[in-house]
Structure 1
């Protein structure tokens, strides 16, 4: 085997988490190979699309602490960030832990009662008794630009992994080549289960398909970035188990992006055969009630895949039997904004270094006991 096939680390999966892992490894002068089964750029996984919400307001302080450095690293990567300065978390009764953690972690926030909210955002119709928590650090993150900006180094796309042989040197076989490395990082999103199976590891990860919906403004510009309409997360809507979230019109002129957090279980290679539209029905009801300036049926429906853990916390850990195989998985629909720090800690684990953060909430061993939702 030629030296060209030998690396310090192989990262499998060139979404945002794998790309940032390779980015940090390269910063550490490590010979790194980033493998991707699809030709770049593609829309088959979780990292495509133009926008994401980036925020510090969280129920759990370990996420808030990680986001502090994420903001710094995003700014370091992208000095020309386009952002909405007024972006909010809309909160209904019962989720006071988010507000409490925001105060404890000194996240800049403000709370709005119904009257204040109506003056600030007359385009939105709250129900009786509802108010809002505004995270003034929240932005719109331009995902497609970010992914392109962080990808670099040795990338081999269009090459699917067909086998992994653990050992002091990990051997990765693809459809066209055989590669060796001192360590391996698996950040394969919906295909993580398939790759981990080669190593004898099983984690209770569920793949779900989300219908990403875009809704037409009745009056163009009402809900756009230029009108300073915020991104939002709406919690506790009656009849829904999970939350709704939205971003101002951007991807498509005059169309606002609003989605339901959870979709329907699927197999990653059979995404397009999953035609359940339960989430679209819930979204139509939500839009009709809360955002009357939008047409109540989506104008565009696209697809995204989430890899969800039972507790909706990430998996950031070494393989249970092979310390030089690192797992980054289960980002559960809220991981994109954490890419800079996730990549950093996965890099640290692959180098055998002490991670910069307490990773106990993200350990594989937690699945041996029951967990509660993180959101």
Structure 2
């Protein structure tokens, strides 16, 4: 999910240097790999490929990745929000992945966080029993399963029903400080040998023949308003989100390569303060599920304030969202207002200890990719152009299908891409 938080406030005691000068690409330079898009996906990919000894160019359309499309929200969860048996190892690996980034960059990327995975569905209709067994048997982690009365006593400010029950995770849960991750990756790029060019919006990728009968990819971008720049690479990785379809890609026969339709999905996330003098347990995050209702089973999620934002107490979002097909629809207040109201209604019903009037409102974006291409594999019709977009790497939680947390699964996509390039 991509957030529109505008300002990054570095955590106290940690280093953040926005003035670092990155390596710049010369016109016509040749690379092993060109990564297009410097959001969290592109930054991770470029850094990982460079660390593997490859010559990497990272192209970004803005002077530095903006918040939209850059996962630059104040926080997101990297824990057992998605209670899936068999995915626990991915969550654990992902936490280690971000802990290593934090140690390398000296910028805070993760923080401890407690979590309630909440539902009103009967126990036998949920993944809870199998998940609890898996955690205890395979990882030695015994989490509490709390029923309604225990929830009421231990978490003041929430409004539970008699059917409510939850897994309480105070052992494995972590919070990803997404803004911190973005800036840490920018800091690490020159250290890892990544060359960058920004602003440099890519307009085309063309497969061209070399004299020895092999082929390379020519990437054209608008480095200046009137002068396009061209770079060559063996491989191109598109981490371009909703901008993917605007890039013209042709194969060695000068035939257009069809691109998947990438549809932005609009979500609402609202930031609230506690009501004065009302008990409110705002130090524990939650995610609420309703598997038996049909449709999108993820009802809502909430995150406590962390040290990247100090002027609110709780962030809440809902699972319902709108698919938008144009910028005008994206910016239309009517498109968004229904979801804002849904979040406010949820606060009234579930967290009445919060002031229902939000401190501020965020548009959040996810991407739906209509394609059979899986993360880390080349596009059909051209052998060396790879797609790295969120919905290609993961799938949604609908009925019996499940979605893994994108941030946790990024390392999987990198391994797949590197395997394809080697």
After superposition, where does 1:164-175 map in structure 2 within 5 Å?
164-166=205-207, 168-175=215-222
Alpha-carbon contact 1:213-1:258 (below 8 Å) kept: yes
Q: What is the TM-score of this pair, normalised by structure 1?
A: 0.81
Runs (5+) with no aligned partner, structure 1: 353-375
Alignment of 1:196-345 (within 5 A): 200-219=257-276, 229-236=283-290, 241=296, 242-250=298-306, 251-267=309-325, 269-270=327-328, 271-273=330-332, 275-276=334-335, 277-309=337-369, 315-331=375-391, 335-338=405-408, 340-342=410-412, 344-345=414-415
Distance of aligned partners of 1:41 and 1:280 in 2 relative to their CA distance in 1, 3 Å threshold: same
State the 1:197 CA deviation: 6.2
Aligned to 1:96: 126
Which residue matches 2:185?
Answer: 150
CA distance in 1, matches of 2:379, 2:86: 22
SS at 1:125's partner residue? coil
Offset of residue 305 of structure 1: 1.7
Residue 190 of structure 1, CA deviation = 1.9
Root-mean-square deviation (Å): 3.2
Segment of structure 1 superposing worse, 339-348 or 169-178: 339-348
Deviation sequence 1:206-237 (CA, Å, 0-9, x none): 211222211221138966xxx77122111129
CA shift, 1:291, in A, is 0.3
Of the two, which has the highest radius of gyration?
A: 2
Query: Secondary structure of the equivalent of 2:284?
Result: coil
1:116 corresponds to 2:150: yes
**How many equivalent residue pairs?**
349
Q: Where does structure 2 lack aligned partners over 5 or more consecutive residues?
A: 1-24, 209-214, 224-228, 251-255, 397-403
Structure 1 residue 268: Cα displacement = 6.4
Instruction: Establish whether residue 14 from structure 1 lines up as the match of residue 72 from structure 2.
Output: no
For each residue in 1:219-263, what CA deviation from the matched residue of structure 2 results, as whole angstroms up to 9, or x when unmatched? 38966xxx7712211112979844211110232413411112342
1:45 alignment partner in structure 2: 69
TM-score (norm 2): 0.73
**1:64-75, aligned counterparts within 5 Å?**
64-75=88-99
Which stretch of the first structure deviates more once superposed, 336-345 or 316-325? 336-345
Q: 1:113 to 1:212 in 2, by over 3 A?
A: same
Distance 1:322 1:63, change over 3 A: farther
Distance 1:197 1:300 in 2: 40
